[in-house]
Amino acid sequence: MPLLPLTFVLASAVAQTGPALTPAAQSLVAAEYAFTDQSAKDGIRAAFMGAFHKDGLVFIPRAVNGLAYYGTQLEMGASLQWFPIRAETSAAGDLGYTTGPYTFRSAKDAPDAAYGWFVSVWQRDAGAPWKVRLEIGVSTPDPSELPAPKALPRAAAALPSAPAVSPSASAELVALDTAFSEEAARNIQNAYKARVDANVRLYRKGRFPLEGAGSLQRYLDPYAVTFQPTEAVISGGGDLGFSRGTLTRKDPSGPQTSNYVHIWKKAAGAWKLAVEVEVPAK
């Protein structure tokens, strides 16, 4: 994929469109800032052990249980800093996602060593606080010469009333990804145009995120892709969910395999793709 023109990268890096924050989304932003604050105070391992759901997954690049993974890691004094620029939740406040830039340093006083963007899916079971259900990210070039993305304001929001129903596995979203796969195998441009939300966010390793349906032409390769979903989870109210699995791209040099995450939201009775993240499988 050719590099993007600098002017387009600049526009994409600072785009801040998206829905206004609901009380549930404000509470999710508060949870995100509590997460990053704990990382700065107590270290990466402690923060992730405290924030992850018991079924939470982290991509390394394959998906593994986050608590099991971070439970084996030593606290090495590295620094991971991040902040959210978008947060959105289901109407019931039981499922949501956040996204924003991150910076990694080998030590707190060391220079920046790596950059990227994260996408976190959060789940709130009945009577429980927000916990990270899925964590995935992409690395990017050094963004220091670009305008800085605008962080969401901190919110000291109390949790809304506990949802009556917790998120659950979804055959509906598995079927949706399967149908999307069949459409993308026939005509990738048409498939995405029909499926994406107007404010869709698109992530690939080594590239700055793109935002908006108008970014599709720059984001999509001309090669057919297929999705093989392995898990899908939907909010209790049936208006927000995620699916994940394996993406195969029919590149002329040979099939290219990646892990993918789709975040879907329902608008006017139709599912639309709000976020796509793709990371190499190796």
pLDDT exceeds 50 at position 5: no
pLDDT exceeds 70 at position 11: no
| Distances 103 to 37, 70, 273 between C-alpha atoms, Å | 14, 19, 27
Which residues are CB-contacts of 49 (< 8 A; sequence separation ≥ 6)? 67, 70, 71
Q: What token pair was written down for 113?
A: 């060593």
pLDDT exceeds 50 at position 231: yes
Cα-based angle 163, 94, 241 (whole degrees, multiple of 5): 135
Q: What token pair was written down for 269?
A: 């009775």
- Between 4 and 190, the more confident residue is 190
Query: What does the alpha-carbon distance between residue 34 and residue 58 come to, in Å, rounded to a whole number?
Result: 19
Query: What does the alpha-carbon distance between residue 46 and residue 42 come to, in Å, rounded to a whole number?
Result: 6
SS3 of residue 53 by DSSP: strand
Tell if the pTM clears 0.85, that is, is over it: yes
Per-residue pLDDT reduced to its tens digit, 51-70 = 999 999 999 989 999 999 99
Ordered DSSP codes for 186-254: H-HHHHHHHHEEEEEEEEETTS--EESGGGHHHH--SS-EEEEEEEEEE-TTSSEEEEEEEEEEEETTE
Average pLDDT over residues 17-23: 72
Per-residue pLDDT reduced to its tens digit, 132-150 = 999 999 999 999 989 999 9
Q: Which of 120, 101, 114 is nearest to 59 (CA)?
A: 120
Domains and CATH numbers, the chain: 19-140 (3.10.450.50), 168-280 (3.10.450.50)
Per-residue pLDDT reduced to its tens digit, 73-126 = 988 888 999 999 999 999 999 999 999 999 999 877 777 789 999 999 999 998
Query: What does the alpha-carbon distance between residue 192 and residue 7 come to, in Å, rounded to a whole number?
Result: 24
Q: What token pair was written down for 221?
A: 């390769």
Q: What token pair was written down for 58?
A: 């982290």
